[in-house]
Structure formats: C-alpha cells, structure tokens
Structure 1
Amino acid sequence: MKTLITILATLLCPILCVAQSNYREGYVIQNNGDTVKGYINVKEWDTNPQSISFKKSVADKGETKYTPLTVKSFTAGDYSYLAYIGHVSNNKNVFPDLDTYRDTTTRVDTVFLHELISGSKVSLYDKFQDNKRSFFYKEGNQLPVELIYYNYYEDGSTIRTLPVYISQVFELQKKYSGGDVRLTDFDRLNYRKDDLLKVFEKINGDGKRVHKSTGGHQFFAGLGGVVSQNRFVGDNQFITAGTVNSFSPRIHAGVDIFNNVVTKKLVLRTEVSFYYNKPTFAGADPIYTGAKNRQFYQFEQYNASITPQVVFSFYSTAAARIFASAGIGLNFSFYKNNRFYGDNNTTSYLNVPYKLERYWANFPLQLGAVIAKRYEVAFTYIPRAAYTNYVLFGVTSRVLGVNLRYHL
C-alpha cells in the first residue's frame, strides 16, 4: 500500500504543480452580438470577476482575456455573468463593517454581475466586492439597476437601516404582476438572496432560476479495505513482536459541503466509517526469558469513526478532479477477547489485560480522484496513534487503506 501511494504521488506531482486552471465548456457573447463557443477558466469567484480567460480549445496554448468592456456576457457550467459598466453605491452594508453615516454617493464600476434569474420580465443579479453584497435587476434590454439598501451607524452605536429596495421591488411587482399588491406585503422582505429570489420568481412567473447558490452539498457512500499496522512502543515485553498487520473491510458514508459547485476546490467533508482490528502479539522467546512458554496478547477492536476533514482539489476538469485531504478521526471503539495466553492456548502468567481506550483520535490523510463527478477512489494514510493511556508504553496502530465512494 505504501508503494502504491508513493507511485501515485510521484505521478501526480507534475500535474499538481502546473494545474492552476479549470477550463469548462462555455461561451461568450461579444459586443457585436456574436456568440463564440469555447472554454472558460472557471475560478472560485468569491468576488465578482473583473476578467476571464477564454480558449476556443482546451489544447490551445494561448488564451484570450475578456473584460466587461470587451464582451456582453459569458456562461460556463452553472455560471452566467453579465457585463456591467455603470454606477454602483459606495455605502457599506455588511455588519459590523458599516458606515458611520448614510453614504448616498456612487461611483462608476466595471464588473461582471452574477446572474441569479434570467426572467422573461425581470432578471436578478448579485455582486459581492469589498465585503459588500449588492443586488441588481434588469428589465428586458434596459441597463441593470441596483437595489439600494442602507445600513449604517448613527451616533456611533445605533444601527439604522433604510430599505429603499422594498419600494423598488414593490413597483416591479405592481408593474408586472398587477392585482391587489400592497407595500406592507414586503415588510419582511430581507436584503438576502433567498428572499429576493422568491419575489422575482413570482414576478416572472416563468422566470428561470440559473442557480440559487454557487455552493451546495453532496452525500456519498462507499466501501474500502484497510490494513492496521499494530505495534507496541516504549518499555514492554511485546516490543519484540514488531508490527502486526490486521486486514478489514471498511464501510463509510458522509457529506461534502462546498462553496463552488463547479470547481469544488475547497470541500468540508464529514464522514462516518466502521472497520475492525484483530491483532495478536507474540512475546519474547522463552529460551531467552526463562519463562515456561511464550506469552501472547490479543484483542478485537471494533472501531466507529467520525472524521471531519478539509478536502483541497489540486486539479479539476469536467472529467476528473484530483484532491488531497486532512482531518481528525474521532474514534469510538469497543473490544472483545482482550486477553493474554501462553503457547498452545495455555493459561498465561499475565492475568489482567491492558486497558484499551474507548475514545481516541488519529489524523487521516488522503490522496484521491473523483471521476465523472460520481466515482471516487482514494488512498488513505493514518499516521501511528495510540489507543492506550500508559506512561511507559503504548499500543498503537498505523492505517493504510483504499476507499471507493459513490457520490449521490
């Protein structure tokens, strides 16, 4: 297993060193209205991009940079962005980084707005830059208009709000939906993506939601196999037994949480797993100890683990994603047949077996790949950890494994 991990790491190193791009199939609409299909380098885009890299073919060595000045819009994977050159508000609105007064000034900005809804009547966009969240709406072929929200400190401590966006949304609702619409119907409309999505979907009726969020979650389940390399460390007669291997199947399931559904560059994973460990240690040869016979120590460990971990994708395309992960394994173990015995299963002169801890921790590392967004193969290495609490010696295990997971 160690050889396999070493070989895999050696093969992947060149890829991991150069794999800084994530080109996905998409297109740009140029200022003259022409649509150019190709591949766009999709990034995390926690803030709105100021430019994008475009290739007509993934194999092309060169790339074209597009900005809001040179294209009208672009689409890649689950992302759609609209070029915007116009006024944006200067006020801060994300607590606690607020202004100390109501800042009504604006500036001209050049940015790609993230499309949330492409509606037949009104479309909705968002923008996050400089720790400020803003939303825009666009009617037909008109220019986008910002939904205004003031949130500021008054007298140094009191927070005041002025939700101008409520009256803006109210006018849109009256214009396109008609009926008995009252301003008080929007009293609980917060300046949040989910709230605004619901209203704009209602206004459009047939409005198409591009995506509610760039993030999400995905459940998985799988099977694997592990070898536990058990060993005594410190001052103990069973040191001479060396490493004792124990093989076991491993079942596991969990959930991945990510902030970018396309690249999944950074994933928070929580996994629950179960495997067993059944080593038998042989003590020193009685010829050298003067004992009547060789002493043996064995136990059966059944181990359930909860492992929160961070998964980082070094390489990501539409076909495959290569990742490494690190986490902490929180183990709950129960034991059977914890005992000493002599040669030919005779009674041992050692009476009380060692106390093995029910709760202990280790630190798993993984290197793996996800194919076609569903099928994952990963190699696991868990450094040696003790599941005893003695001062002079310890019983430890190091774990190597192969895991197959299916992402639902």
Structure 2
Amino acid sequence: MKKMLFYVAVFLATINCYSQIEFEKGYFIKNNNERVECLIKNEDWDNNPLKFKYKLNHGAPEIFNTIESVKEFGVYNFSKYTRGNVDVDQSSNETSKLDGSRKPILKKETLFLKVLVEGKSNLYRYKRGNLKRFFYSNKEKSIKPLIYKRYLNSKHNANLSSFNGSIVNKNLNRNFIYVNERYKQQLFKNLTCKTISLKEIEKLRYKKQSLSKFFIKYNKCSGYLIDDQYEKETKGVFKVSLKGGVRNTTLDIDNSSSFLPSISFDSKTTYKIGVEGEYFLPFNKNKWSLFVEPTFQFFSAKKELPFAFLVEKKIIVETNYKSIEVPIGIKRYFFLNDVSKMFIGGSVVLDFNFDSYLRYTRTDGAIIKDFIIRTSSSIGFHIGYVYKNNYSLELTYQNNRDFLTTYSNISSKYSTMSITIGYTF
C-alpha cells in the first residue's frame, strides 16, 4: 500500500509539468470594455464559474480573473460566459423539498451565465449543484429568467392550462405535485414568428436541448445568422474495453481462536481477464468517468504445516478461490498531450465466488475441516496510462479482502497488486 501511495505521489508531481496544455485561446472583456486576447484554462465548467485562470501567453504566469472585474469571457470555438445581474429562482426541484407556492423565490444575483444561443434573442444557462435555471434576453434588453417551478398543492380539481402559467403534471397528480410552466407563456408572448406555432411552444421542455432548438429556430425565422461556436458542449461518452493482465496475490489465514493453525501462503502470480464499461461524464472535457469492470480471477495454493495434534505431525492447508470481481468506481484523467493521458481512480470491488473452498486435510487426504468461502467487498486503487484513447496500461492495488465472512473464529486477508493492459473499441 505504501508503494502504491508513492507511485500516486510521483504521478501527481509529474502531471503538474503538463498543466499548460489546458490553456486554450480565448478572451475576456473588462469593465471598461477593453478586450484582452489571452489563453484561458478551459475547465469545461459543469457549474457556472465565478472566476477563471488565464495567461497572456504560454510563457506568462497564471492569473485569476473574477466576476467583479470581467463582464464577459470565452474560449474560442468552445464556450462563452457573460455577466448578468439577474433574478434567480431559489426553489428546490427535489420532490422532498418542494414548497406549497407556485410563485418562484427570486433572488438578485450577479453571475456568469453560459451563452447557449446568440441572435435576436439569446438563451443562457446557469447551474449550481442541483439548481438549474435558464434565462433569455431580446436585443438590447435585460436578461430575464425563464420561470419553471414544481410545487405542492392539495387541490384535486385544479384545471389549469399551460398558458395561465401553471399546468398539472398528470403522471404525478396523485401526489399533488403541480408545475408552474410560465416560461411557455413568456416565449409565446415575446418570441413570436410565423414558423413557430402555439402547439410547438406547448410541447417545449425545460431542458437545454429543447430550448436551444427553439431559440435557434426563432432566430433563423427572424432573419438572424446564428453563431453556433458557443453551442458546443462536452457530451457523455460510453466506451467498452477488453482487459487482461497478471496479478501478484498474497493470502493470510488467521485461525488463532481455533485449534487449526494459521497460515501465510507464499505470494503467487496469476492471471485475470475482464471487460470494462466506462462512461465519461459530460463536463470538464470528459476528465471524469464512472466505470464497472467484471473480471475473472483465480488463486489456488497448497502448503504443508507442522501440526502436533496428528500422529503424522503434519497438516495440509489447501485453497481454491475463483470469482468474478466487479470493481465499480470513478477515474480522473490528466491530459499529457493530444495522444496521451494518465489517470488515477478508486473503486469498491464486489466479489462473486464459485467452486471455492479453504480446506484442512491429513497427509492421506482425509478432510479435517472444509470452510465455505463467502467474500466481503474491498477497495481498489488505480493508476494508469492511455495512448490514443485505445491502448491502456494500468496498475491496480486491492486492499485486504476477507473471504471467510461467515465464520467468527477464522478470517483471511486477500490482497492483490496487478498490471493490466487494455484495448478500447
């Protein structure tokens, strides 16, 4: 374990040497309207930022800029943020935290809003944890919130249409959850065009994709060219990899509370093979991923020990352990250049064994005691390298796992260090 921590420390120190790769061409506009061309650290923010890092050139030092001194900033061909002093609805969208009022709880805040669509009318997004809000503005007018709120109501016979600002969610009616969809009324009133029908607005969802398509259509209908350089957004990606490798395994049996002896088996090198499914999260430039990796592994060993309670003064301890391990975890990637990246990760390792046992026998083969193997979960630590998004090399350490969980007088410590190669399809 100490070696693993040492490798991780060396890895983290190494990647700091490559941090400049995250700076991309961009700009920001000061409060006095001065535009500064620079390199911005593109963090592909999931939550809207209040500050950002920039450099005037590759050799210049990193500098923080904050919302107090910047009215707009952007990374070319990727994203743009504009400062706005806007009304933000503080209402929770979580069912357990809904209140009984259809009115939004508005609070004035100064924020960097992400620009989703620009034209005659602009669409913006704000995200802070579970709070997700959309805003819009018409040419030369202030930015206003698009109102959407779920709330509780004890009335059974409410008969409200979407254009009086509130509708009943029929699927949730029995739970008395209603939805204020005033944003549809706002768009119907303020963004009218001959190619947009009332029915189309009624079907709008309070989602980025639905609203973005609507604003793009409205701007095109109004004769405005759409600058789509800010519509780009990191998408979630799912990949499958075939993996195989070798592992060094140690196994200790503690039988101190029984007449049978404890034992430490010699470390042994075995093989493993598995398939990994990995989902790269749709933010921070796919630097975070969730993964699951079902893997077949096995370990078998036999050892003879002195044992005073038998005539032959010897006892044989044998184990045969086969299982499907299922690590479920998270990885963080660090880009080194256009074709190389490294990662660290952690996982909870579930284990499903079969045809497995721990057995004490006499030298003539007579069984003294059979222990049925039932495993506990363990923790995995991962560090690796990926080349061209296809080839990977990974070092994994799994801490002590007890596979004798059904017994109170005996326990085991099963730990592994493995090297795995992989190919991603």
Q: TM-score range by the shorter chain?
A: 0.7 to 0.9
Aligned partner of residue 8 in structure 2, secondary structure: helix
User: Alpha carbons of 1:308 and 1:154: their partners in 2 closer, same or farther (altered >3 Å)?
Assistant: closer
- 2:395 aligns with 379
**Does the 8 A contact of 1:115 with 1:124 survive in 2?**
yes
* Candidates 337, 342, 346, aligned match of 1:326: 346
**In structure 2, distance between residues paired with 1:97 and 1:75:** 37
TM, length-normalised to structure 2: 0.73
Q: Does 1:228 align with 2:229?
A: no
Q: Which stretches in structure 2 are left out of the alignment for 5+ residues?
A: 156-175
CA shift for structure 1 position 90: 4.5
Q: Which amino acid aligns with 2:296?
A: F
**In structure 2, distance between residues paired with 1:23 and 1:52:** 12
CA shift for structure 1 position 97: 5.8
User: Alpha carbons of 1:29 and 1:146: their partners in 2 closer, same or farther (altered >3 Å)?
Assistant: same
Q: Does 1:169 align with 2:187?
A: yes
User: Alpha carbons of 1:264 and 1:197: their partners in 2 closer, same or farther (altered >3 Å)?
Assistant: same
**In structure 1, distance between residues paired with 2:400 and 2:106:** 60
CA shift for structure 1 position 149: 0.8
CA shift for structure 1 position 276: 1.8
TM, length-normalised to structure 1: 0.75
**Does the 8 A contact of 1:220 with 1:405 survive in 2?**
no
- 2:10 aligns with 11
**In structure 2, distance between residues paired with 1:143 and 1:40:** 31
**Percent identity at matched positions?**
14
Deviations 1:102-123 (A, max 9, x none): 369774x5432213345x6654
* Candidates 289, 298, 302, aligned match of 1:276: 298
CA shift for structure 1 position 14: 4.2
Q: How does 1:294-313 map to 2 (within 5 A)?
A: 294-312=314-332
Q: How does 1:93-132 map to 2 (within 5 A)?
A: 93-95=91-93, 96=97, 100=101, 102=103, 107=108, 109-117=109-117, 122-129=121-128, 132=131
Q: Which amino acid aligns with 2:377?
A: A
Deviations 1:214-250 (A, max 9, x none): 5624324233322221222123645345444241133
User: Alpha carbons of 1:128 and 1:122: their partners in 2 closer, same or farther (altered >3 Å)?
Assistant: same
CA shift for structure 1 position 332: 0.9
Q: Which amino acid aligns with 1:330?
A: L
Q: Which amino acid aligns with 1:269?
A: F
RMSD of equivalent CA atoms: 4.2
**Does the 8 A contact of 1:379 with 1:400 survive in 2?**
yes
Q: Which amino acid aligns with 1:165?
A: Y
User: Alpha carbons of 1:383 and 1:129: their partners in 2 closer, same or farther (altered >3 Å)?
Assistant: closer
* Candidates 395, 401, 407, aligned match of 1:390: 407
Q: Which stretches in structure 1 are left out of the alignment for 5+ residues?
A: none
Alignment size in residue pairs: 390
**Does the 8 A contact of 1:237 with 1:284 survive in 2?**
no
User: Alpha carbons of 1:61 and 1:305: their partners in 2 closer, same or farther (altered >3 Å)?
Assistant: same
**In structure 1, distance between residues paired with 2:83 and 2:177:** 31
* Candidates 281, 287, 295, aligned match of 1:264: 287
User: Alpha carbons of 1:62 and 1:329: their partners in 2 closer, same or farther (altered >3 Å)?
Assistant: closer
- 1:363 aligns with 379
Q: Which amino acid aligns with 2:305?
A: A
**Does the 8 A contact of 1:340 with 1:348 survive in 2?**
no
Q: Which amino acid aligns with 1:309?
A: G
Q: How does 1:30-109 map to 2 (within 5 A)?
A: 30=29, 36-40=37-41, 42=43, 44-46=45-47, 48-63=48-63, 65=65, 67=67, 70=70, 72-75=72-75, 78=78, 80-86=79-85, 88-95=86-93, 96=97, 100=101, 102=103, 107=108, 109=109
- 2:271 aligns with 248
**Does the 8 A contact of 2:247 with 2:419 survive in 1?**
yes
Q: Which amino acid aligns with 1:28?
A: Y
**Does the 8 A contact of 1:42 with 1:263 survive in 2?**
no
Aligned partner of residue 367 in structure 2, secondary structure: coil
Aligned partner of residue 11 in structure 2, secondary structure: helix
User: Alpha carbons of 1:202 and 1:293: their partners in 2 closer, same or farther (altered >3 Å)?
Assistant: farther
